[in-house]
Amino acid sequence: MRAFLDSIGYAHWILSVLLLLPLAGVVLVLLAPKEWARWLTLVVAIAEFVLALGLWITFDPDNGGMQFTATLTWLPELGISYRIGLDGLSLFMVLLATAMMPLLVWGSWFAIDQKVRGYYALLLALKTGMIGVFVSLDLFLFYCFWELLLIPMYFLIGTWGSSNRLYAATKFVVYTFAGSILMLVAVITMVTIVARGTGETSFAYDHLVRHSDLLAPYAPWLFSAFALAFAVKVPIFPFHTWLPDAHVEAPTAGSVDLAVILLKMGTYGFLRFAIPFFPAFALSRGVAAVFVALAVIGIVYAALVSMVQPDLKKLIAYSSVSHLGFVMLGIWGGTVASVQGAIIVMIAHGISTGALFFLVGMLYERRHTRLLADYGGLARVAPKLATAFVITAFASIGLPGLNGFIGEFLVLLGSFGRFPVAVGIATSVVVFSAAYLLVAVQRVFFNPITKPENLELHDATPRELAVLVPLIAAMLWMGLYPQPILRRTEAAARRYVETVRPYLPAATTAASTEAR
């Protein structure tokens, strides 16, 4: 297989094809008759996924650098090029994005019955933007994809969302744009400073990282601008309020895309850009304390808020804030284990929260309510849905044997050396997350049936099982045999840690080495 892929030059064109194929799909969907829209999207989605599988096969796990790179000149005088590539970190984001795509189409199959063409076209455009963010190795290109993502998401929430959709859509765009506009200023400033030091104007990621020492004097401001953009996206505690609104109002596919990919863009940004560009400042004791504190506050606060949510979708949205707190903790942990753990939590959270949003969407299609109080005893009428929900909830809680466990465990283990107190608090919060999800499961599926409407609910259809079974299989696989994923992420994590290790405060370096 690998020989065949090499013989067709797979490594050279694959990422560009993954970027262009959905765009071609957008054109096709818009031109073709309305009835074809979902079929065309499904074909494009499956083609995209099959093509992306080659990434998994041919990816070289021992290479911590960028693979599958391609470069085309764009604005050479200004140092801007189309530079793409991926490493162990972005590999899984791209795979998640492409693997989720067919499921999203299946999930929306009947749920979307108006303005069908626009819906699927936007879904495809969103995919290009997502993949673009994770494979861009040029900051100009990265910024373009980062912003372009807003448009499809805005329309998805605003047009196909539920009652309060206009507010949620606007809030989503304003928050993200507010965060990222200063990042643009910071990017231009960085390039100008590096150009003065080296005589070469370039937006290339490698070039900027190599000369990151030139940026050190300006690091506080530049890092803040980047951190704000990414913190809004993660979202870190005080910037998180757009997330519940966007999640609740978005259509199911929008919520899933948000959870699976868009939230990861923030943590990805920290790992890829904000910290490697300004390691000395970002990892200095004060800044690290702020971020770890915010991460822990996010973990605790979101878990507590989840416990009192009457709305199932909002509950899951807040649980995302909690999970992403673990990722932030792992990133600042600064050991191979914690960084790898952070990457794994990103993947695992994508799968399990994505599945939870699908399940809530299925319940909503049946009963047109998201309130916990309106359900009860569904396990008797819909055992398959109940089973799927329970497994996914366990995965999300972090039960050993399912996907949520490994990542959180590695994060806690790897970060303990540097932040014992924070890790202690975060560990105890796992109990809360068990509490809110299990209570929700109980109220939806196990209490006696009080509402007569719930008696007539039908169980999962084959189409819905086609969405759920692959996700649950992935949860089990990741939980029981994570070795292939660990192996592919290790080199990237190690490379990141080696980049930042010299900048970790001296006193704790010894401790973090022990923790490895």
Residues binding other proteins (CB under 8 A): 74-78, 143-144, 147-148, 151, 155, 158-159, 165-166, 169-170, 173-174, 177-178, 181-182, 184-185, 188-189, 192
**CA 399, CA 455: separation in Å to the nearest integer?**
31
Name which of 16 and 447 has its Cβ closer to other proteins.
Answer: 16
Q: What's the min distance (Å) between Cβ of 141 and other proteins?
A: 9
Strand segments (E) across 196-296: none
Closer of 184 and 425 to other proteins (Cβ) = 184
Residue with Cβ nearer other proteins (32 or 75): 75
The nearest distance, CB 233 to other proteins, in angstroms, is 16
Between 170 and 499, name the residue whose CB sits nearer to other proteins.
Answer: 170
Least distance in Å: CB of 168 to other proteins? 12
- The nearest distance, CB 139 to other proteins, in angstroms, is 12
Residue placing its CB nearer to other proteins in the complex, 79 or 377? 79
Rounded distance between C-alpha atoms, residue 143 and residue 80, angstroms: 12
**CA-CA distances (angstroms) from residue 443 to 26, 306, 364, 375?**
41, 14, 15, 7
Strand 80-86 relative to strand 67-75, pairing: antiparallel
196: how many CB neighbours lie within 10 A of its CB? 10
User: Which pair of tokens denotes residue 383?
Assistant: 């055992």
Q: What is the 3-state secondary structure (H, E, C) of 369-420?
A: CCEHHHCCCHHHHCHHHHHHHHHHHHHHHCCCCCHHHHHHHHHHHHHCCCCH
Is residue 88 within 8 Å of residue 490, measured between CB atoms? yes
Q: Least distance in Å: CB of 140 to other proteins?
A: 8
Determine the length of the chain.
516
Q: How far is the CB of 192 from other proteins (least distance, A)?
A: 5
Closest to other proteins by CB, 130 vs 351, is: 130
Nearer Cβ to other proteins, position 152 or 334? 152
Half-sphere exposure of 361 (CA within 13 A, CB side): 28
CB distance 361 to 107 below 8 Å: yes
Q: How far is the CB of 216 from other proteins (least distance, A)?
A: 17
Least distance in Å: CB of 254 to other proteins?
Answer: 14
**Distance (Å, whole) CA 356 – CA 362:** 10
d(CA 443, CA 115) in angstroms, rounded, equals 35
Beta carbon nearer to other proteins, 183 or 356:
183
Which residues, in sequence order, are bridge partners of residue 75? 80
For the CB of residue 151, give the shortest distance to other proteins in the complex, in Å. Answer: 8
Alpha carbons 247 and 99: distance in angstroms, whole number: 21
The answer to whether residues 318 and 302 touch, using CB atoms and an 8 Å cutoff, is: yes
Which one, 139 or 300, has the nearer CB to other proteins?
Answer: 139
